[in-house]
Structures are given as C-alpha cells and as structure tokens.
Amino acid sequence: MPETLMRDVAELTVPGMLQNSVSYQIRLLQIASYKSFEQQMSSHGSAPRYFGLLKIVEANPGIPQTRLAEAIYLDRSSLVPILETLTREGWVERKKSTTDKRVRRVFLTKAGAENLARLEDEVTAHETMVTADLTPAEKATLLDLLARVDKTLRANFGGAS
C-alpha cells in the first residue's frame, strides 16, 4: 500500500455519520468505559463484568431468570452461562420456584452480597472518574437523556421497563 494512503492513528478520519450517531457514540463509550472498569476491577473474578446484573438481583431477590434477562437486554439462553459462572464463583444461587417448577429464581449468596458491597465502592470510584469533567447538573441531564433513550428502546424492541 502506498505510504500516502496509510494514515497515522492521530490522523484518523471519523465519518460525520458516525460522529452524529447516538448509537455509535454510546457503543464507543461503553467499550472504553468497560475496558477501564475491567482494568481496575481485575481482582473480583467475573463479577465486575456483571455488576449491573448483580445489583438488579440484590434489589429483586428471587427474580425469575426470564425477567432478569429482559431487564438487561439479554436472551435467556445468553443469561444461563453467565449465571452458571456467577454460581460457580459463589456470587449467586438459583432455586426452582415453589409455585412453578419451570421457573428458576436468582438470589445473591451471603458471600455474594458481602463481596458486592466491597465491589460497589470501587464502582463508585470508577463512576467518579468517568464523570469527573461533568457538573452534577450535567451528569443528571446525561442520565435523564440516557433513560429516555432506554425507554424508547424498551418500548420498541423489548426488555423490561
């Protein structure tokens, strides 16, 4: 390839369509935030990757697997291996429903709840770093706007409300 066609990363051209795409920008930020988060949280096994899922289980003890999958935009079949990993690592346990044997409910274990409390401090520190250049009002506005996008996606493409 001729040298004139090769570009240095500093000279990367991002097409206007991508610069003005909310979906693309959200995805890029998700990847960057996730990578930063995982680097800081490497001592907690798989849990940091599933912090949101664990917090939902904590807030909804006994949540049915199907409802949990909906809440985090996963197919039930994608959730099962995650729960198997978290079960193996001692974070959660799954129990059959007493009223419907087809339903599996998800609970934090005692150790999972204790470890999640410790992990939460690190997550809070990461969140502070990520939003350091935002005022409290800007952060509130950003969260409000993201919630509105989420509401639209859930209304149009499924997931929990």
DSSP string, 19-86: HT-HHHHHHHHHHHHHHHHHHHTGGGTTGGGGHHHHHHHHHSTTEEHHHHHHHTT--HHHHHHHHHHH
62: tokens are: 């006994």
Is position 11 within any domain? Answer: no
Terminal C-alpha separation, the chain: 51
Element (H, E) at 104: strand 104-108
- Pick from 95, 69, 97: which is nearest to 81 by CA? 69
- Provide the pLDDT for residue 85: 93
Cα(16)–Cα(131) distance, integer angstroms: 25
The pLDDT score that the predictor gives to residue 149 is 94
pLDDT at 161: 44
Residues shown for the chain: 161
What is the number of domains present in the chain? 1
In a domain, 6, yes or no: no
For residue 106, being part of any structural domain is answered with yes
35 within a domain of the structure (yes/no)? yes
**pLDDT number for residue 83:** 96
Return the bridge partners of 108, or none. Answer: 92
Instruction: State residue 22's pLDDT score.
Output: 93
Q: List the Cα angle 43/44/47 in 5-degree steps.
A: 150
Residue 133 lies in a domain: yes
8 in a structural domain? no
pLDDT score at 21: 94
Domain that holds residue 82: 16-155
Rounded CA-CA distance 142/25 in Å is 13
Reported pTM: 0.78
SS3 132: coil
**Could you tell me the CATH number of the domain that includes residue 99?**
1.10.10.10
Q: What is the pLDDT along the chain (161 residues), one digit of tens a residue?
A: 455 555 556 778 889 899 999 999 999 998 998 888 888 776 666 677 888 999 999 999 999 999 999 999 999 899 999 999 999 999 999 999 888 888 999 999 999 999 899 889 888 999 999 999 999 999 999 999 999 999 999 898 765 44
What is the C-alpha separation between 138 and 144, in angstroms, rounded? 10
Residue 2 lies in a domain: no
Helix (H) or strand (E) run with residue 96 in it: strand 92-96
